[in-house]
Amino acid sequence: MISIIFICKGNMFRSQLAEAIFRKKFKNKIYKAKSYGTTVTNDKHKNIKIGEMKSLYEFSNYVNTTIGVNISNWKCKQLNQNCISNKDIIIVMAEEKTLPKWLFNFDFIYWQIENPIVLNLTNVKRIHKILEKKIESNFG
């Protein structure tokens, strides 16, 4: 099994969406995906369920109905070195200024995916399309 990790700033949107797309596309295949954020602990939303955040309800519902993956019980998870050990592929979408220095000791792929200031349905759909294309072009 090939282990892949998606990393964004807060593990609230981009990395969770990438993980959901990846899990749906490669269900029962050779990949296993997880996601983490670089500032989850600082932003005080560690271990909070996506479905319990009022600001993420529309996003959570979209992923459930459009992608077919229920992420409402997924939690925001803080990235640490243990998360990365034994991972085959590391994809980073977090802004460089939020990356811990130790992360640069690992080989990773950087995807320039914006973190929208407003998380509305229009932005969710737009980022969904971008991530689907990235995942398709990199993993088939």
| The total number of structural domains that make up the chain | 1
What CATH number does the domain containing 53 carry?
3.40.50.2300
User: pLDDT digit string (tens) for 82-122?
Assistant: 999 889 999 999 999 999 999 999 999 999 999 988 888 99
Put simply, whether the predicted model's pTM sits higher than 0.75 gets the answer yes
Q: Give the integer Cα–Cα distance in Å for 29 and 62.
A: 24
Residue 91 CB neighbour total at 10 angstroms: 24
**Partners of 6 in the beta sheet?**
35, 91
Provide the pLDDT for residue 43. 64
pLDDT digit string (tens) for 38-76?
Answer: 998 766 777 788 888 888 888 999 999 999 999 999 999
| pLDDT tens figures, 1-44 | 899 999 999 999 999 999 999 999 998 788 899 999 999 876 67
Residue range of the domain that includes 97: 2-139
